[in-house]
Structure 1
Amino acid sequence: MTTVSIIAIIINITISLTLATGMTPVLVWWERRVAGFIQDRAGPNRCNIGPIRLGGLIQSIADMLKLVFKEDFTPSHIKYKFFFSLAPIILFFCVFLTFGVIPFADNLVIDGQSIMMQALPIQLGVMWFLAYAGLSTYGIILGGYSSGSKFGILSSIRATAQVISYEAAMALSVVSMLLTYGSIHLGDIVASQGDTLLGFIPSWGVFMQPLAALIFIVTAFAETNRTPFDIAEGESEIVAGYHTEYSAMKFGLFQVGELAAMCAASAIIVTLFFGGYQIPWLDTQTLKDNIDYVMIAIMIIVPLKIFFLTKWMKKNNNWGDSNNIRSKETAILTKLFWAIAIIIVALFAWFLSTGLSTNGVAITVAVLQVLTFIVKFLLVALVFIWIRWTLLRFRYDQLQMLGWKVLLPLSLLNIVITATYIVVTGS
């Protein structure tokens, strides 16, 4: 293994860690702020470090530190203490491993060597994701069972019934995607989505297989155990279900695992149905051929974005009032954002003046594709948060009816239609 390959693997693992776990404080803050917006209230915005509040993000960091230093208490009635401690670890690691096969960019070619831009350079693709996403449910079941309380047992039963009701529909919806793109490797699927339909519609999965996209997205909500499918928790019915007896970092791992599951679901939805790292109408080769124009566009867009962002911050944070903590924070952040913009513009101007080598073009395109993937990923995560604070929880029987009587027949019908079309057209 060459030095370049090792560096690429380290970078891919770092991206996976960042998206799976490093985003937790940001997503907790984002969830609270979106909830506040939907409920017409401010949300967290007071916790600070000196003048720095970051719109309430510091509150998430404070909560995380509180869980780290809180007493890790295990109730005396717990009989299976080993499994009680193991359950949140299973949930967390199974969810984290699903990120291993997500391609963050097209294969990076350096000095003629092709490097897969994913944490695990394997070809298992969507099969790997479905395997570990399904195994993560065992953490919930084991946590509820080992808790030894009626709420935990009920939660385990609910989680078991839930997983058998949606997993079949989820897997069958993926079968339609595999028939459409002819590969289980997610890199191949995303590469195919770089084409267009009718010359102007991106060949994204959501356009190629709209019914499969709908089924998969609905079952992904159930997979993540989030509203409206959080029947395993059901605060109004079984207190908190499987994590009722947990505290400190064991409880924290369950919460991080839930957010990591949301991140994993967002990543696979983007990969299968929204083009992954593909920029609409700009596939990898087109990006390489027009990299100078792309850099010029970025040099224009970034300063404009910073201008409007800082203008909005000044408008809402009492800019100019030296005694106001928000004004002081705005002054610091304004300087920081403009410094970043200047660095980006100067770097791209230098690239344009000196010219990029073949390796330089490949790396620049890879960076742009990674950023594109992250933007799409965050937008889908926002939808997850939006849905949570909009819809009510399904009843236990309603989820069963939806899974067995609606989603499963629809997914089977979609497979039949897709296979018939492929056989008739020969495509």
Structure 2
Amino acid sequence: MSQLDILMVVLRVAFGAFIPICFIAIGVWMERRGAGFIQDRLGPNRCNIFGFRAGGLVQNLADGVKLIFKEDMIAGHIQHKFYFVLAPVLVFFTALVSFAVIPFADTLILGGKSYIMQTVPLDIGILWFLACTGFAVYGIILAGWSSHNKYGILGGLRSAAQVIAYEIPMGLAIVSLLVVYGTVNLSEIARFQGQLLFGFIPMWGVILQPLGVVIFIVAAFAETNRTPFDFAEGESEIVAGFHIEYSSMKFGMFFLGEYVAMFVSSAIIVTLFFGGYQIPWLATETMVAYAQPIAIVLMLLLPVITYYFTNWIRKNNVSHYNRQNDPLVREANVYIKICWILAAAVELILLTLVVINPSADGVRIFVVLLQMASFLLKATIMCFVYVWVRWTLPRFRYDQLQKLGWQILLPMSLVNIFITSAVVVALS
């Protein structure tokens, strides 16, 4: 194995491990800021380091320190302590490894060698994802059972029933997609969506499977235990459900696992239905052929985007009452300078790409970086949809949850399979 091969393996593993973990901070920040905006309040704006609040991100650091140094105790009535400790690790680990098979860019060709942009390049990618997400519920059930607490057991039972009710429609929605794509390989699925329907419509899953995307997204909300499907916790009914007996970082692992699962489910939704890393109307080979014109367009757009973004910072990072030498304004000025410095650095890189005719390998690296940025942007937008729904819809009743899964989504997914199969056979 050459040094380049080793470097590519390290970079792929690093991306697959650190990006979901980094998105925990982004997801928590988005949750708090989104909740504050929807509820017409400020959100996190107190915790700071030398006056810098980072828009509320410092609050995440404070919460992390609090969880690490909080007393870690196991109640005396808990008999199966090994399983009690194993449960949160299982929830977090299964959420993290689910991301390993999701492609974040097209295959990179360097020096005549092809490198698949997946942490674990498996041909059965979608089956790996379903297996890992289905296995995560065992951690919740194990937590509820080992807690020896009636609320914990109820939370575990609710989670098991919920997974059974929504795994089936999710799997059937994927069957409809596989009829269209003809493969379970996620890289091939993402590559398929780079084509154009009728010569001008991107062949994304949301276009080819409009009913399937609704079924899958609703089931994904239920799989991640997000509101309005957070019955396993149900604060108003069963206090905290399966994690009621947990404290310190054992609770923190459940908390982190939820946000990793939210990011991973957003990434799989993007990969299956919204083109994955694909940029509309710009397939990989098209981007390679027109790399320099694309770089020129980006050079023109970047200052405009930076201008509006810094104006948004200046408008929102200010106290809601008159303060002499407002510290929020001073903080905003620092962030604005950082944004312009970063924009200037990117402009310099793009200018180099335009002026100096790079090698074929350099062009392909540039294209892969753009595709990674496209993938992460789409996943971030989908994460915001999770936050949006949580602070918009109330929790359903439990009978409504089961009715939606068994009496509505299941028949819809079966009908969708028959319609999709008929159309594919007719057009074949």
Q: TM-score, normalised by structure 2?
A: 0.97
Alignment CA distance shift 1:297-1:322 (3 Å): farther
1:412 Cα deviation after fit = 1.1
2:369 corresponds to 1:361: no
Paired position in structure 2 for 1:110? 110
1:355-414, CA deviations, whole angstroms, 9 ceiling, x for partnerless residues?
A: 110000110000000000000000000000100011111111111111111111111111
Q: What letter is aligned with 2:371? A: Q
Paired position in structure 1 for 2:228? 228
Paired position in structure 2 for 1:53? 53
Alignment CA distance shift 1:317-1:254 (3 Å): closer
Count of aligned pairs between the two proteins: 426
Q: What letter is aligned with 1:177? A: L
Alpha-carbon distance between aligned partners in 1 of 2:311 and 2:285, rounded to the nearest angstrom? 37
1:23 Cα deviation after fit = 1.4
2:387 corresponds to 1:380: no
**3-state SS of the aligned residue for 2:191?**
helix
Q: Is the 8 A contact 1:19 1:263 kept in 2?
A: no
Paired position in structure 2 for 1:421? 423
Alpha-carbon distance between aligned partners in 1 of 2:95 and 2:2, rounded to the nearest angstrom? 30
Paired position in structure 1 for 2:277? 277
Paired position in structure 1 for 2:259? 259
1:304 Cα deviation after fit = 1.5
Alpha-carbon distance between aligned partners in 1 of 2:408 and 2:310, rounded to the nearest angstrom? 48
1:19-71, CA deviations, whole angstroms, 9 ceiling, x for partnerless residues?
A: 32111122111101101111111111121111311111111111011101111
Paired position in structure 2 for 1:335? 337
Alpha-carbon distance between aligned partners in 1 of 2:211 and 2:417, rounded to the nearest angstrom? 10
Alignment CA distance shift 1:44-1:196 (3 Å): same
Percent identity, please. 49
**3-state SS of the aligned residue for 1:336?**
helix
State which of 393, 396, 404 in structure 1 corresponds to 2:395: 393
Gap regions ≥5 residues in structure 2: none
1:318 Cα deviation after fit = 5.2
Paired position in structure 2 for 1:77? 77
1:11 Cα deviation after fit = 1.9
1:236-273, CA deviations, whole angstroms, 9 ceiling, x for partnerless residues?
A: 00000000000000000000001111011100000000
Alpha-carbon distance between aligned partners in 2 of 1:331 and 1:404, rounded to the nearest angstrom? 54
1:261-301, CA deviations, whole angstroms, 9 ceiling, x for partnerless residues?
A: 10111000000000000000001011111111111111111
Alpha-carbon distance between aligned partners in 1 of 2:120 and 2:355, rounded to the nearest angstrom? 37
Paired position in structure 2 for 1:302? 302
Paired position in structure 2 for 1:68? 68
Alpha-carbon distance between aligned partners in 2 of 1:341 and 1:415, rounded to the nearest angstrom? 47
Counterpart mapping for 1:93-108 below 5 A? 93-108=93-108
Paired position in structure 2 for 1:371? 373
1:324 Cα deviation after fit = 2.4
Alpha-carbon distance between aligned partners in 2 of 1:188 and 1:109, rounded to the nearest angstrom? 16
Q: Is the 8 A contact 1:26 1:60 kept in 2?
A: no
**3-state SS of the aligned residue for 1:161?**
helix
Q: What letter is aligned with 2:296? A: I
**3-state SS of the aligned residue for 2:227?**
coil
Paired position in structure 1 for 2:351? 349
Alpha-carbon distance between aligned partners in 2 of 1:326 and 1:17, rounded to the nearest angstrom? 34
Is 17-26 or 232-241 further displaced after alignment? 17-26
Q: What letter is aligned with 2:240? A: A
Alignment CA distance shift 1:236-1:257 (3 Å): same
Q: What letter is aligned with 1:270? A: V
Alpha-carbon distance between aligned partners in 2 of 1:14 and 1:30, rounded to the nearest angstrom? 24
1:179-198, CA deviations, whole angstroms, 9 ceiling, x for partnerless residues?
A: 10000000000101001112
**3-state SS of the aligned residue for 1:23?**
helix
1:421 Cα deviation after fit = 1.9
1:425 Cα deviation after fit = 2.2
**3-state SS of the aligned residue for 2:114?**
strand
Paired position in structure 2 for 1:9? 9
Gap regions ≥5 residues in structure 1: none
Alignment CA distance shift 1:340-1:322 (3 Å): farther
Q: Is the 8 A contact 1:322 1:328 kept in 2?
A: no
Q: Is the 8 A contact 1:295 1:348 kept in 2?
A: yes
Q: Is the 8 A contact 1:166 1:219 kept in 2?
A: yes
CA RMSD of aligned residues (A): 1.5
1:322 Cα deviation after fit = 8.0
2:410 corresponds to 1:408: yes
Alpha-carbon distance between aligned partners in 2 of 1:392 and 1:318, rounded to the nearest angstrom? 32
1:314 Cα deviation after fit = 2.8
Alpha-carbon distance between aligned partners in 2 of 1:33 and 1:311, rounded to the nearest angstrom? 18
1:5-25, CA deviations, whole angstroms, 9 ceiling, x for partnerless residues?
A: 222222222222233211112
